[in-house]
Each structure stands twice: as structure tokens, then as C-alpha cells.
Structure 1
Amino acid sequence: MLNILSGLIGLVTLILMIPAVIPLLGALNWLLVPIALFGAVIGMISSKNGGRNFCLIVAAFGALRLFIGGGLI
């Protein structure tokens, strides 16, 4: 059950990251990366790894976007 919850958190975060790819909206990732990491923590409690791994990939994508944009753009 926690794996499904973690996957849903990751999916919602990924959907919310789509507008954050647009220039000048990249600062939205400062809110979304911690949410994805929270989903990964929930996935760590689960016995399966799928949700955790998905949330970590989403968080890495958001962190990469922040790195490329210099943290603001």
C-alpha cells in the first residue's frame, strides 16, 4: 500500500513539474523536489522499491532542472 502511495506522490509531482520546465517558472522545483523526496521516504518504508525509485528519479530530474537554471530560472 505504501508503494502505491509513493508512486502516486511521484506521479503528481512529475505532473506538477511539467510547468516548471518553462523558463521563469523553474523556482517551482524548490517546492516539488522535497515533495518527491518525501514520497521516496514513504517508499523506503514499503517492502517494494518501485515507488521509491520513481520518486528518486523525479527528484533528480527536478534537481537537474534547478542546477541548469541556476536555482531560479
Structure 2
Amino acid sequence: MGLISLLWGIVSMCWMVVALIPLLGWGNWFLIPFAAVGAAIGAIGVLFTRSGRNGRARAGLLLNGIAIVVGIVRLALGGGVI
């Protein structure tokens, strides 16, 4: 679960960088649900993995959380069009 969440977080961060380009802000409408699924996978990984071995799940949860926050802020600023 941790590795899946980490890879999902890396993909969502790359997608977030692309969605920051002007006129590609509509990508945030797809980024937020995508990153939310990755965050849910990361949360499940944190819950069901021993505390010493859940670093990947925590990192994935963090990356997906950052992508969600930046996507929401970007949508609030540009309305999702710009």
C-alpha cells in the first residue's frame, strides 16, 4: 500500500506541475479526485502497516495532500479555466 501511494503521489505531483501552466488549469478538476484516491490509499497504508515500516505510505499521503491543497488553491484563484 505504501509503495502504491508513493507512486500515486509522484504522478499527482507531476500532474500538479503541469496544471500550474497557464491555460491548463482545467487539469486541476481531474487532479483533485486522483490525488484524493492516492491519499486514501496512503491513509490505509499508514493504518495497517507497523509504525516502523510506514514511511512510504506517509510520504505518499503527504505528496497527495500537497497536490490536493495546491489544486484547490489554483481552482479558487483561476476558476479552473485559466
Report the TM range for the smaller structure's normalisation: 0.7 to 0.9
Between structure 1 and structure 2, the one with the greater Rg is 2
More helix by share: 2
Would you identify which runs of 4 or more consecutive aligned residues in structure 1 move more than 2 Å? 47-50
How many residues were matched structurally? Answer: 72
Gaps of at least 5 residues in structure 2 are: 47-53
Partners of 1:57 and 1:21 in 2: how far apart? 13
How large is the RMSD of aligned CA atoms in angstroms? 1.3
Identify the residue that residue 51 of structure 1 maps to in structure 2: 60
- Please give the TM-score of this superposition, normalised by the length of structure 2: 0.78
Gaps of at least 5 residues in structure 1 are: none
Kindly, what percent of the aligned residue pairs are identical?
42
Partners of 1:40 and 1:69 in 2: how far apart? 24
CA displacement 1:23-58 (0-9 Å, x = unmatched)? 111011100111001000000111332221221111
- Please give the TM-score of this superposition, normalised by the length of structure 1: 0.86
